[in-house]
Each structure stands twice: as structure tokens, then as C-alpha cells.
Chains A and B, each alone.
Chain A
Amino acid sequence: MTVTKKKRGPTLLQRRSISGLLFCSPFIVGFLIYYVRSIFMTFQNAFSHITMLESGQEELTFAGFSYFNDAFNIHPSFRQTLTSSMGDMAIDVPLILFFSLFMALMLNQKFRGRTVARAIFFLPVLLNSPSILTALQTAQGTILGGNSPVSTVVMDSMGTTTGVNMDFYLGLLGEAFPTWLLDYITGAVGRISTIVTSSGVQIIIFLAALQSISPSLYEVAKIEGATPYETFWKVTFPMVSPLLITNMVYTVVDSFVNSDVLALAYRTIFTENNYSLGSVFSIVSMLGVFLILGIYGFLASRITFYQD
């Protein structure tokens, strides 16, 4: 009996699972040899002293947490860079999400020139290269203040007090609103170009989500007499809310790639050849990213609506 079974070969299910593994095999192998191995090595480096032998081999001796101690207590700029990078990220993420959802709602309406507007809003994704970004920033300075360097300086200093004394009006508002909120909003206005340029993909994703909402839901809402405001909160927002987490992950990862703390880690490893300390920097900043993702993910999951 067993012999005939063997002759018959694997069952359909087994064959399916084998071909599934075959389809995924490149990724599995790649993940094992590039990612798992590298993560392991990063941790190993972070916990040990590395000395280069003359043969080009590395010698690792266990160092415990001493490099973590160095990073936080001895290194002159790590703590500050880390907190400022993480702080920037924590501030930018909700702003980018809010802005991209808002813009997606705008672009989802029917008006003339919609295609052109969409094309423009996606343009920043094409220009998302470090060298181009620096040049764009310089160019923005020059376009604001003519092209002579003198006027750029003048305009830059004027940027804080443009004609109207904004501080005065903000001071009036300060009576009514808490200062931190005002600071956040004025800060957001200052960051508008960063926010706009880094929300191209997110706008597209939200747009796609908006397009996929079934029109019959809106019909029902209309028949039941819902106002546009109610329709937004009861229909539109719940339907796009699953994409909040997707977009959040994308935003965090994307803004982390260009952050100062990564630049510091890179410099420490490749310029100063301090492999252990650099590994510590990357591990700590990675944990920081996970922390931010975790907190925002938790908050987002509270307002996310799942259909099933």
C-alpha cells in the first residue's frame, strides 16, 4: 500500500505548496543571506570590539553594552541628532498624512485640469534624489529673492517678518489657544514645502482608496439625508482609514532614509571606521523608528475601520 502511494507522488496540495515555495524561493534565499545574516552581524558588531588583523580579517571581542554607553554618554552629537531626527519625524508624519488626505479629497473632485493637477502633485516623487533636493532648496531661495545672492540673504531674513507682523496676531491668538498648538501650526506652515514634496506617493494612495469607495454608499447617505460633513466622517473616512497605516509606514520609512541620524551612522562607519559605534547608532535609530511606528500605528488602529 505504501509503495503504491509513493508511486503516486505528492498530492495536489503538496504539489501546490512546493510550487508556492518555488515562486517565493528567490526572496527566501535573499532574505536569509542578505537580511538575516546582516542583521545578526550588525548586532554582533554593536556588542563587540572590532580589531582589524593584518590578514584583513576582523577579530571580535565581546564588549557588552560599552558602545551603547559611548553612544549616549560620550559621543558629542548622537543624542541630540537622534532626538531631533525622531522629533522631526514624529511631527511630520501626522502633518503629511493630514495634508495628503486633504489633497486627495480635493483632487478626487471633478474639475477641469484635474489630470494636470495630479501630474504636478506626483512630480516630487520623480525629484526625490538627495542631490536634486539640495539644488531645489537653493533654487527656491533664489526664486524667492531674485537671483542675486544679496537679495537671497535679505529675503531669507525677511521671511520671518513678512510685511505684516505675524507675531502680533499670533500673540492675540495665543490668548485663546495653547502656545504649543500655535507653534505646531506655524511650524507646519514653515515646513509646507517639505510636506508637499514628501507626500506625493501618499496622495496617490489615498486617491486610489477614494476611487475604490462604492458610489452606492454615497447614494445611501444622500437618501438618508446626511450632510456632506456627516458623509465624510461616516462614509469617506472609515473607508480610507485602513490606508492610514500603510501611508504612515511609508512616510516614516521614507523620511527616515533622509534623516540626519542615518547620515551620522553612515559617517561613523565609513569615514571614521568606527564599526561598532556606527552599528549601535543604526540599531538605536531603528528601534526609535519602530517605537514611532508602534505609537502611531496604535493610534491609527484605534480610528481604523475594518470591513470584516
Chain B
Amino acid sequence: MNLIAKGKALWGGAKNNTQLQNEKNRIIRSTKSFLMSAFRLVLIVGISYVIISPLLGIVVSSFFSNEDQYSPLVYMIPQTPTLERYQLALTRLDYFTVMGNNLLYVLSLSVIQLVICAMVGYGFARFKFPLKRILFGCVIVMIIMPSHTIMYPLYTTFQKFDPLWLVSAFTGKAQNLLSTPVPMFLMTILGTGLRAGLYIYIFNQFFRGLPKEIEEASFVDGAGTFYTFVRVMIPNAVPSIITVTLFSMVWQYNDLSYANLFNVSNDIVMSKRLNTLQSTIANVDRIVDPNIQQLYVFAGIVMMILPMIIIYVFLQRRFIEGVERSGIVG
């Protein structure tokens, strides 16, 4: 009797146990995945905060009035918001004119960059010619080598611009191209613009990944090399094109080193103008408090990054997909 009861209890326990086991496993699994997503959430939100908070600080501060700036009670939300910072920054930056010029400058450089780098990348990807490996090594050198190593020689080159003594033959003396946007264009047209090596590399990797058949088909149909490139290869390279466009626009827009080197005018390059905004505000408008000056600079920065943010919002989804499919990964 006792034995039977014991056996029954054991049997029931075992039966219960499998259920219990399943239950236990389920709970463990769901807890694990819950903990995992909680961890991920905390991490991503935390790091997003690190990225966004200074930006938020700039945007918010640009609306502060003088009292807000000094009031210890004000945090994030201004008590007496003002647009005065924007008004003054707008006039001192000469915003609309300069921004128009700047966008035109950046856009045209990006288009040239795109055309040239796509061509060169295609040339390296699909053709065999003597010294190809060495020449592609030069592309890598261009990516790796800091452009600052050749700053001064480039400066002198464009200061006394005289390719093959042609200019001096016509005008009598070498041309000084500094303080015009011409040097940047000259460099970009010859495939050595800002970070051009990287773009050539991206296009090269991408074109290498495309199947040879589509090209051969177009040759069989009687298309020439250049026609094939324009009509067959380029339409297939949209992901790379988006990637390179966004990169080249953003980097060209933010670039200060070449703009300073070639002394490109303030009326064309916004970031240069922004650099001098604080001293302009101090000297022309006689606002001597550096903390208040800072607010104007913040307003200027908000206005400067606005176009890029707008472009990025529109291109964002396609851009990230584009990078995933473009040649960076190879």
C-alpha cells in the first residue's frame, strides 16, 4: 500500500516534471530574449544619446536669450526663447547667398567627382592594360597618404600655375589660382579631388562584382565601349552612385583643409565663414561675452547643417541600403 502510493506519487511527479521542464525552458528562453532586447535597448538608446545630446544642446541653446543663458534654473527649455541669434547670424553669415554658392560649388564638384571616379573605377575593374597593378597601387597610396603631406607643393603649384609653360606662353607670367575655386575643380577633374581614392576604390569593387555577361551582351549588340559604360554599366551602379554622392557631398561640404589651403573665398565656403563668425560677432557687433557669442555660433551651426540633414533624411534609407550593396564590402 505504502509502496504503491509512493510509486504513484513518483509517476505523477515525473509526468509533472516534463511539463515543468517545458515550462521552465520556455521561461528561461523568454527571459533570455527579454534580457537581450532590454540590453540592446539600453545600449542603443544610451549611445544614441551620446550622439544626439550635443546636437540637441546646440539646437536648444540657439534659442536662448541672454537671461536664459545665465539663469541656473534653465535647462534645455528656454524661458524666454528668442530668434535674435538667428537673425544676426543670418546677416553676418550672409546666409542665403553663401549657402547658394556653397551648394552650387559642392554639387558641381560632387558631380565631377562621380563621373570621373566611376570612369576610373570602371577602367580598373574591367580592362587589362600594362602597369595596371602598379597604377591601382597608386589609388591605394592616395587613400592612405594624408593629403597634408603634399599641402605645400600643391599650394605652390597653384600659386604659380603654369602647366607645361603654356600659361606663361600666352599671358607672359604664371597664373595665381589661389583664392578662387579653380584649384579644387582642377584637382577633382583629374581624379585627385577630396578623398577621390576612396570613391575610385568603391566603384572599382562594385564594377568587379557585376556579371561580365551584361557587358558582353551589349558588345555583341554592337555597342562601343563608352556607350556600354554609359548605358549599361552606369544604370546598374545606382547603389554605388548614391553612396559616393552622399559621401562626396558631405565631405566636400564639411571640408576645411583644402578650402583653407587654396584660400577659397568666404563667399563660397560656408564652413570657413562659420569659423570666423565668432570673431565677426565680437568685433562688428561688439558682443564681448564669449558665452553669448557662443549662442550665435550655435545658431550658425544649426543653419549650416540644415541642408545636409534635409538631404540625408531624403537619401537615408536608400543610402544605407546602397552602402550595403555597393562595392565597399567587395
Contact = CB atoms under 8 A, between A and B. Distances in A.
Interface of chain B: mostly helix, strand, loop or mixed: helix
Contacts of B305: 126-127, 132
A242 to B, nearest CB: 8
A206 to B, nearest CB: 9
B120 A106 contact: no
B153 A42 contact: yes
Contacts of B324: 207-208, 211-212
| Max count, chain A CB within 10 A of own CB: residue among B44, B153, B257 | B153
Contacts of A37: 153, 157
B328 A45 contact: no
| Max count, chain B CB within 10 A of own CB: residue among A13, A132, A265 | A132
Contacts of B317: 115
Contacts of A270: 152, 155
A269 B138 CA distance: 26
Contacts of B149: 38-39, 42, 282-283, 286
Interface in B155-214: 155-157, 160, 163, 187, 189-192, 196, 198, 200
A146 B76 CA distance: 8
| Max count, chain B CB within 10 A of own CB: residue among A24, A27, A270 | A27
B148 interface: yes
Contacts of A130: 256, 271, 275
B87 interface: no
Nearest to B229: A23
A234 interface: no
A303 interface: no
A66 to B, nearest CB: 19
B143 A253 contact: yes
Interface stretch (B3-11, B92-100, B125-133): B125-133
B195 to A, nearest CB: 9
A17 B192 contact: no
A126 B123 contact: no
Interface stretch (A73-81, A162-170, A180-188, A190-198): A190-198
B223 interface: no
Interface of chain A: mostly helix, strand, loop or mixed: helix
| Max count, chain A CB within 10 A of own CB: residue among B43, B225, B256, B308 | B225
Nearest to B47: A196
A278 B152 contact: yes
B51 A137 contact: no
B127 A111 contact: no
A121 B323 CA distance: 14
Interface string A9-21: 0000100111111
A126 B56 CA distance: 15
B151 interface: yes
Given A136-B55, A142-B57, A34 B123 contact: no
B323 A23 contact: no
Nearest to B276: A131
Interface string B43-75: 110011011111111100100100011111011
Given A34-B150, A148-B71, A123 B138 contact: no
B144 interface: yes
A106 B68 contact: no
Given A31-B138, A266-B151, A204 B40 contact: no
A135 B126 CA distance: 45
Contact of A204 (B143, B196, B308, B323): B323
B186 to A, nearest CB: 9
A140 B124 contact: no
A23 B120 contact: yes
Given A111-B40, A128-B254, A146 B55 contact: no
Nearest to A103: B47
Interface in B256-286: 256-257, 271, 274-275
Nearest to B255: A129
B235 interface: no
A209 B329 contact: yes
A121 B325 CA distance: 19
B220 interface: no
13 contacts: A16-B127, A17-B129, A20-B129, A24-B127, A30-B192, A35-B141, A41-B153, A132-B301, A147-B74, A148-B71, A151-B72, A269-B151, A286-B146
Interface of B: 37, 40-41, 43-44, 47-48, 50-58, 61, 64, 68-72, 74-76, 116, 119-120, 122-124, 126-130, 132, 135, 138-139, 141-157, 160, 163, 187, 189-192, 196, 198, 200, 225-226, 229, 250-251, 253-257, 271, 274-275, 291, 294, 297-298, 301, 304-305, 308-309, 312, 316-317, 320, 323-326, 328-330
Question: Shortest 4 CB-CB distances between A and B: which pairs?
Answer: A20-B127, A30-B190, A23-B123, A129-B254
